[in-house]
Amino acid sequence: MTEPGTRPDQTGPEHETDAEARQLTRMRRTSWLWVAASVVGVLGGVANYLLATRVVSAGVEPEIGAAALVAALLGLACWLLLALLWLTLQVPLRNDRGWARVALAVSSALGFGLDLVALAGSWATITAAVLQAVLLVAALVQTFRPTPS
């Protein structure tokens, strides 16, 4: 007997194996999107720090240079913490924990906020911010996409 809405050839152990393989492939793709978003975010933070060191070496007033360095270091620390959080949440996400999805969505809002701040930087930080925002949207879409049954 087949389930309603399925064909006779869509049931049985082979079909379950195919569904599990598709689910595993989807979870891997989702995890790689979060890894890519993490790496791009940290690289953007490093680019921002390098920009701040250029500002200091250009001979600006010491107060402005110090403020630029502190802001860049705080931004880099935020990106490192977000990357660590996003990578750590991949294990419960693979185990289909709903709270991991919520935590990723909330922390992504912080990432988008940092991306907005990075838009005021150089071409490298702007490129990293735009790329990272695209990766975050793709990762969130994959994370919240319903599981095919």
- Residues 3-57: tens digit of each pLDDT: 555 555 555 555 567 777 887 888 888 899 999 999 999 999 999 999 889 888 8
Q: What is the pTM of this model?
A: 0.79
Residues of the chain by 3-state class (helix, strand, coil), percent to 5: 85, 0, 15
pLDDT at 107: 94
pLDDT at 127: 92
pLDDT at residue 96 above 60?
yes
pLDDT at 121: 79
Helix (H, G, I), strand (E, B) or coil at 2: coil
Cα–Cα distance, 149 to 47 (Å, whole number): 43
Q: Can you tell me the mean pLDDT for 65-93?
A: 92
Helix (H, G, I), strand (E, B) or coil at 11: coil
Phi, psi of 96 (to 5 degrees): 60, 45
pLDDT at 129: 92
Q: Which helix (H) or strand (E) holds 46?
A: helix 13-57
Q: What is the mean pLDDT of the chain?
A: 85
Q: Residues 30, 143: contact at Cβ < 8 Å?
A: yes
Cα–Cα distance, 36 to 128 (Å, whole number): 11
